[in-house]
Every structure is written in structure tokens, then in C-alpha cells.
Structure 1
Amino acid sequence: MADRNLFNDYFAENPRSNEVMFRRRIRMSRGLFSRIADAVKNHGRYFTQRVDGLGRIGLSTNQNITAAMRILAYGTPADAADEYIKIGELNTIQCLQRFSRDIVEVFAERYLRSPTPTNIDRLLLIGEKRGFIGMLGSLGCMHWRWKNCPTACAGQYAGRSGSPTIILKSVADYDLWIWHAFFGMPGSNNDINVLEESNLFSNLVQGITPPANYFIGGKRVPSRILLSRCISGTCLAEATVA
């Protein structure tokens, strides 16, 4: 019954919820959700609906992935999935863990990686068209609140907010392709400390970053990825003269 209600609400040919409502609930389009669901389902048996030894039909692909997506999108507690999707707390936690692992295994080679020389050329061209010569993306940091931080670590991880937090640093391009992410630094660290620990610039120091080229005044300028400046707490990762 829960699977049927979920299907009729969101995945039927004429669902009860329109595209706007679907995006509001899942934080992505229905087409993207289906693509991810199909890829994860074909990757292994966990997200395939099966029949147990007693002949009972198990959870569907849509139930499992919707539960995982809602936790990732809104941070809802695991036991909240039982109200509508009808998945128990332990199964929801296991589902989230398997989903996260499968996403990395399926999409890492194409999406969860640093930009190639071809990607860099494309990003530089798009940035130039928008008036930002040499810009590869926007670098920013955010704090994730660590609700269950151990008391022994609370002082180390507590920053200006007074609550323990963990810092996430990422670089995204114009269409929100996150080509770099670094997570785990204590919230008490400032931007410089985070950048020093990140591998974004350690690769640059070792000379293993892909080359980038852009044009200024009609002249081709060879470059490497460097941090240019921080404006209102947001850093711009630009290609600048090496």
C-alpha cells in the first residue's frame, strides 16, 4: 500500500503531485531522480524489489531511494520515513549508507573528480563570456552543526557560533557541478587553516594540476589554478599567471 501511494503521488504517468511539488519534496527534478534510481538499481541487488522467504514483497526501489533522498535533502531523522514511506529506522539508516556508497561507485569516475583539461577550457570560456576572465568556479565554506559531538571534542570544534560544527569546503562551477569538496575540519578553524589542509592547493604545489589557458587582450596566457581573492567570505578560484 505504501509503495502504491508513493507511486501514485510522484511516479505515475499522471501523478497527484506536479513537477514543482516533486522538486520541493526531493530537491531535484523527477527525471534526475529516475536516472539516479535506475543507475543505483542496476548497480546491485539491494535496491531491487525482492520477495523474502515467507513470500512477502519487499521494499521497492522508489521507497528506498526516496527515504535516502529526503534525509540527504532535508536532514530529517531516520524514523520519520516510517510515517509515509513505511520504512523502519534501522532499514532507513542502512538504506542511506548503501545509497551513499553506490552513488560513489556508480558516478565517481564521471562526476566526483577534478576537472580535466577539457573541462577547464570549457569553464574558462564560460567565465569569460560572463565577464570573469580566468574564473573556474566559486569556492566557499559552510559549517555543519555536529549535534552529537563528544564533550571532549566540543571545545576544538566550536567556533564563533558557540556550537560544535564541521566545515565543508567546495568549489562549484556556474551550473553547480561541484568538482572539489573537502569535509571534516573543526569549525573553530579559519579560512586559511582550511585551505592549508585541503588538497586543492597541495596538488598545485606538487605540479600535478592540469594546465589551463585563457586570453587577455588577445594574448594566450598559460596558467595554473590559484586562489585569487575572498569577497564577503566567498573565495573565487581563478586561473592566474603561473
Structure 2
Amino acid sequence: MRVHVFERLIEEIEGADYYFKQKKDAIGRLGLSGLQKAVAAIRILSYGLPADVVDEYVRIGESTARKALHHFCRAVISVFGEYYLRAPNAEDVARLLKIGEQRGFLGMLRSIDCMHREWRNCPSAYKGNCNCINVLQKSPVFSAYLKSQAAPVSFTVNGHTYDMGYYLADGIYPNWSAFVKTVSHPLDMKAAHFAKEQEKVHKDIERTFGVL
């Protein structure tokens, strides 16, 4: 994480949650700083560490690390959720459609996929194959579509007019009208060309995961 991003994060969560303010105990000794608590939470999230491991690095006990993690997640959602976790508005949709059109896909909003990470300390109750399908079932991404509240999209391809945007996806995703998938085994030049172009654009999300 870049220094200026980290410093802004600490500043914002300290302002949002009193728990991260450094306080004195009954005899006037300073307690843990907001920096210590935030670093403990970030290390647990970043590396999948158990709460008792961060003690040696930031001098914070297991129970306090767990509490810091809980407060950290709530504070981040409270401060940044309205901007970073919001659904796209009409301006966002117009920008995304323009980008999709420039890349040869009229009506394309984005690509969709999920990243699989192994957590060696995952509690046994949570173990299992969390693949793209059950991640999709738990995701609110398509809540607006199901409630008929999605931003209006209209485009025409080969003489057919469509009123819903779509996402590029790989073959594991279900056959929904919201997904345009690649052709796994193209039988002619036209299908092969489409598969090549679809996979080339869909690869953006894989590169994003790589950067993260």
C-alpha cells in the first residue's frame, strides 16, 4: 500500500471511530495507538494471519487484535462505502458504455470474475470451494437487475435492439442474458475471431487481480 493511501486511511478511520483514538488508562499511561490497531487489522486482512500472530509485530494481544479488525472493517465501510461500494449511476454507465464501444463491444458495462485465494488458517466451518457460481449467488451486483432498477441501456447490434447492458464473463458463469461468454470451441473463423476479441477484453479483470 502506498504511504499516502495508508496515511489517509488511518486519518479517516480515527475520525470515524473513537475506538482508534489513543487514550490514557486510570493512572495516566497511554494505551494502544490507532496506528497499532490499524496495522494489526491490515496485516490480518492482507496475509490471512490469525489474531495472535500480530502480537510480536505491533505489541497487541489476540482479543484486542480481533476487536481492532472488527472496528476497522466497520469504519472503512462507513467512511468509504458510499463512494467506493455504490452502484454505478447514469454518468458511470455512460462512461462505461463508451469505453465498451471503443473496444468493439456495444452495450458492454464491464467484465466480471472472482479471484480465488487460499487461507491456510480458514476455520473448518467455512472451508469449501467458493467458486464463481456461489460467489455470484451471494453478490449484490445484480440486485438492481432483479428489482428492475438497473440504469437504462439501449443499443442495436445486427438489427436487434437490446435494453440491458451486459458483462463479459468466462465459461463457468450461467447462461444469463447479462453475460456474454467466450466460444470455448469455435468451429469457424467468425466464432474464432469473436472468442479472440472477447477473451482479449475480458482479460482486463485478470490483470486487475494481478495488480491487486
Query: Shared fold (TM-score greater than 0.5)?
Result: yes
- Residues 111 and 167 of structure 2 are in contact (CA less than 8 Å); yes or no, is this contact kept in structure 1? no
Structure 2 equivalent of residue 81 of structure 1: 54
Is the CA contact (8 Å cut-off) linking 1:144 and 1:165 kept in structure 2?
no
TM-score (norm 2): 0.67
Which one of 8, 13, 17 corresponds to residue 44 of structure 1?
A: 17
Unmatched tracts of structure 2, length 5 or more: 181-212
Per residue, is there more helix in 1 or in 2? 2
Q: Which residue of 1 aligns with 2:85?
A: 112
Find the aligned partners of 2:113 and 2:97 in 1 and give their Cα distance. Answer: 19
What is the Cα-based RMSD across aligned positions, in Å? 3.3
Assess, with a 3 A threshold, how the Cα gap between structure 1 residues 41 and 135 changes in structure 2: closer, same or farther.
Answer: same
Of 90, 101, 124, the residue aligned with 1:128 is: 101
Structure 1: where are the runs of 5+ without partners?
1-27, 151-156, 158-163, 168-186
Alpha-carbon distance change, 101 to 196 in structure 1, aligned in 2, over 3 angstroms: closer
For residues 146 and 90 of structure 2, what CA distance do their matches in structure 1 show?
18
Give the Cα–Cα distance (whole angstroms) in 1 for the partners of residues 43 and 108 of structure 2: 33
Sort the Cα spacing of 1:199 and 1:96 in 2 relative to 1 into closer, same or farther, 3 A. closer
Q: Deviations over 1:13-38 (max 9, x none)?
A: xxxxxxxxxxxxxxx21111111111
Matched letter for residue 165 of structure 1? G
Structure-2 change in CA distance of 1:70 and 1:209 (3 Å):
same
Determine which of 161, 165, 168 is the counterpart of 1:225.
165
Contact 1:64 1:95 in 2 (8 A): yes
Distance 2:98 2:179 in 1: 12
> What SS does structure 1 have at the residue aligned with 2:111?
strand
Q: How many residues align?
A: 175
| 1:57 to 1:117, Cα distance in 2 relative to 1, 3 A | same
Instruction: Provide the secondary structure at the position in 2 that maps to 1:49.
Output: coil
Tell me the secondary structure at the aligned position of residue 165 of structure 2: strand
Q: 1:60 to 1:197 in 2, by over 3 A?
A: closer
- CA–CA distance in 1 between the matches of 2:167 and 2:104? 18
- 8 A contact 1:138–1:234 mirrored in 2: no
Higher mean C-alpha displacement, 222-231 vs 70-79 = 222-231
Residue in 1 that maps onto 2:141: 200
Aligned counterparts of 2:49 and 2:135: Cα–Cα separation in 1 = 28
Identity value in percent: 37
Determine if contact 1:117/1:212 at 8 Å carries over to the other structure.
Answer: no
